[in-house]
Chain A
Amino acid sequence: DVKVTQSSRYLVKRTGEKVFLECVQDMDHENMFWYRQDPGLGLRLIYFSYDVKMKEKGDIPEGYSVSREKKERFSLILESASTNQTSMYLCASTLSMADTEAFFGQGTRLTVV
């Protein structure tokens, strides 16, 4: 069974903290993505990675960075968490081809207080 696993289901962090969200996939997929999901705004792409150490900004990269040191792992970093980063964060992975299905993790509900 294919799997994308996010390290935490729920997180509560304080304003100004550095936050790491981890995502691991076991399907040998080239592409990995981080989205945030907010009511009325759908899924917005933060960053994606198409290979180890390769990344590309999505639509809302401000306040975030990413790391992909190994093919199976893609980390999202909030350098200094703020309350407007309270959201559901979704990780996904795909093969590097046009008609491929995206597989999603279960999501991390992050609350910044």
Chain B
Amino acid sequence: GDSVTQMEGPVTLSEEAFLTINCTYTATGYPSLFWYVQYPGEGLQLLLKATKADDKGSNKGFEATYRKETTSFHLEKGSVQVSDSAVYFCALSDSGSGTYKYIFGTGTRLKVLA
């Protein structure tokens, strides 16, 4: 079945450091890929998305490129801020079974230190 695998956290970085959070997936069809963010005490919200191979999603300085050959969608940011401290979830939506099931990874907690 469909699945999403994320790197385990927590990830602790100093402010202005480079961030990479790895995400790989398996899917039966041609999925769309997403990153969601959950700030402390808040619900999940969409950060960025990509719908086909080689697409790059971007938002708030974060980027991720849909790599079909490596089945990956790694999240990157060039310079993190304390306000980026949150839990990040990789997700996919796949119509392989005829319905659009939405699957999430386990989440990666990011802590940015001033």
Give me the interface of A with B, judged by CB distance under 8 Å: 31, 33, 35, 40-45, 48, 50, 56, 58-59, 90, 92, 94, 96-102, 104-107
Contact = CB atoms under 8 A, between A and B. Distances in A.
Interface stretch (B13-21, B70-78, B100-108): B100-108
Given A42-B107, A43-B107, A100 B101 contact: no
A56 B30 CA distance: 20
Interface string B85-114: 000010101110101111111110000000
B99 A31 contact: yes
Contact of A43 (B95, B100, B104): B104
A96 B98 CA distance: 10
A97 B32 CA distance: 10
A102 B91 contact: yes
Taking chain B's interface residues, is the majority helix, strand, or loop, or is none over half, making it mixed? strand
B31 A35 contact: no
A92 B102 contact: yes
Interface residues of B, number: 28
A62 B76 CA distance: 37
Contact of B100 (A42, A58, A98): A98
B43 interface: yes
14 contacts: A31-B100, A41-B106, A42-B6, A42-B89, A42-B106, A42-B107, A45-B102, A48-B102, A90-B43, A94-B100, A94-B102, A98-B94, A99-B51, A106-B43
Contacts of A59: 1
B46 interface: yes
Given A50-B100, A102-B102, A43 B49 contact: no
B101 A45 contact: yes
Query: When A and B form their complex, which 3 residue pairs have the shortest distance between CB atoms, in order from nearest?
Result: A42-B106, A43-B104, A99-B51
A94 B103 CA distance: 12
Given A35-B104, A43-B89, A105 B99 contact: no
Interface string B29-42: 01110101000000
B44 A90 contact: yes
Contacts of B30: 98
